[in-house]
Amino acid sequence: AQSVTQLDSQVPVFEEAPVELRCNYSSSVSVYLFWYVQYPNQGLQLLLKYLSGSTLVESINGFEAEFNKSQTSFHLRKPSVHISDTAEYFCAVTQNRDDKIIFGKGTRLHILP
């Protein structure tokens, strides 16, 4: 069975500092991987996804994530965070023959002034 582990429930970081949100998954078959962002009292928005090809994927607002098959990880990084990045971030996985997505429990990113 698939599962997703987000190792940190909360991550505090100073504004303009770099951040890494960790995500590990388990699956016996090939997977697709996603990061979603949720702002307060809103639904989830797709941040970026890995389907195939280059293992480094980027979003339009400066986030990037790297698929590491040997470590079964898909960590999310940003070199310099802004106060507007305050949100909860969810890592998710789906098998390559299934449309159902398994979500991690989320990591709340707190930006400190």
Partner 1 sequence: DGGITQSPKYLFRKEGQNVTLSCEQNLNHDAMYWYRQDPGQGLRLIYYSQIVNDFQKGDIAEGYSVSREKKESFPLTVTSAQKNPTAFYLCASSWGQAGQPQHFGDGTRLSIL
Does 90 help bind partner 1 (rule: CB under 8 A)? yes
Considering only 1, 28, 41, 53, the residue that binds partner 1 (CB under 8 A) is 41
Least separation in angstroms between CB 112 and partner 1: 21
Least separation in angstroms between CB 108 and partner 1: 9
Please give the C-alpha separations between residue 83 and each of 2, 47, 87, 108, 109, in angstroms, as whole numbers: 33, 17, 10, 13, 10
Contact 75, 66 (CB under 8 A): yes
Of 16-24, 31-39, 54-62, 73-81, the window that binds partner 1 (rule: CB under 8 A) is 31-39
Does 44 help bind partner 1 (rule: CB under 8 A)? yes
Please give the C-alpha separations between residue 38 and each of 6, 46, 53, 65, in angstroms, as whole numbers: 15, 9, 27, 17
Least separation in angstroms between CB 34 and partner 1: 6
Number of residues that bind partner 1 (CB under 8 A): 25
* CA dist., res. 9 & res. 106, Å (int): 6
**Residue holding tokens 């429930």?**
9
Mode of pairing for the β-strands spanning 107-112 and 10-14: parallel
Does 95 help bind partner 1 (rule: CB under 8 A)? yes
Does 60 help bind partner 1 (rule: CB under 8 A)? no
